[in-house]
Amino acid sequence: MSNPTIIDIISPVMAGPSSSHTAGAVRLGLLARNVYNSKFDKVSFKLYNSYAQTGKGHGTDKGLLAGLLGFGVDDKRIKNIFDTPEAKNIKYEFEFLEDFNRHPNAVDFIFDGDLHFEISGNSIGAGEIELTKINGFQTKLDGKYNTLLLIYEDKPGVISFVTKIIQENKVNIASLYCNRNAKGKDASMSICMDGELFEDQIEKIQELDDIYVIRYIKKLES
């Protein structure tokens, strides 16, 4: 929050007790849910460092699960999330770990269901969050923009193909982040946008060969 607004200072309305350990946890869950965007039967949570040591006392475990189930940061059910029908419908487990290479408030989500997905993120203070890794690829997602995420075979022309479709829709690109494992192998791209993409544009992008994962990740409302 380098350039905070009045609203940043006098909000959010949230379930206590900690913006980083509770509200941040809910927002990490919500964003991971938007990324996975599919039905899941089971999810494992790995909490690291401060999230592991003070997580239970701060309700971090409850917040992560609540977000994943789609509950907002101010939802009164967060406190008793384990007893809700939504939580009873899925399998979940928590591991509490220590790893000094990770951020003090780090978490991994491991989904099993329609797809196997691993998503890592950090709660970086004042409820602000970032997703840093998706299925092994570095990313930078903060939930503030609608974002198109692609994992694809690295080859020339993909970035211009995709950005052309976005431009045709007169949507402004706020930031573009690319990463690849090795030349000619898998690559990832995340494009943050000021506007919105629609189904037909996403379908057009999907027509491109050798796209393994395409996700249109809605910005967080909570």
Token look-up 């057009």 returns: 204
Of the candidate spans 19-27, 32-40, 84-92, 159-167, the one that interacts with another protein by CB under 8 A turns out to be 19-27
Strand 146-153 and strand 137-141: the pairing is unpaired
Binding-site member from 42, 57, 91, 181 for another protein (CB under 8 A):
57
Nearer to another protein, 6 or 182 (CB): 6
Nearer to another protein, 46 or 62 (CB): 62
Site for another protein contains 5 (CB under 8 A)? yes
Nearer to another protein, 17 or 184 (CB): 17
Residue 157-176 contact track with another protein, rule CB under 8 A, x = bound = --------------------
Measuring CA to CA, which residue among 196, 148, 189 is closest to residue 172? 196
- Count of residues touching another protein (by CB under 8 A): 36
Site for another protein contains 144 (CB under 8 A)? no
Residue 183-202 contact track with another protein, rule CB under 8 A, x = bound = --------------------
Tokens of 73: 């940061």
Cα separation of 162 and 201, whole Å? 9
Q: What is the DSSP string of 19-88?
A: IIIIIHHHHHHHHHHHHH-S-EEEEEEEEEHHHHHSHHHHTHHHHHHHHHTT--TT-TTGGGGGGSHHHH
Site for another protein contains 18 (CB under 8 A)? yes
Cα separation of 131 and 180, whole Å? 17
Site for another protein contains 122 (CB under 8 A)? no
Q: Which of residues 21-40 bind another protein (CB under 8 A)?
A: 22-23
Q: Phi and psi at residue 99, in whole multiples of 5°?
A: -155, 105
Burial of 206 (0-12, 13-18, 19+ CB in 10 A): exposed
Cα separation of 176 and 103, whole Å? 24
Nearer to another protein, 50 or 120 (CB): 50
What single letter denotes the amino acid at residue 29? G
Binding-site member from 39, 42, 56, 144 for another protein (CB under 8 A):
56
Site for another protein contains 11 (CB under 8 A)? yes
Binding-site member from 25, 28, 32, 78 for another protein (CB under 8 A):
78
Contacting residues toward another protein, per CB under 8 A: 1, 3-20, 22-23, 50, 53-54, 56-59, 62, 74, 76, 78-79, 125-127
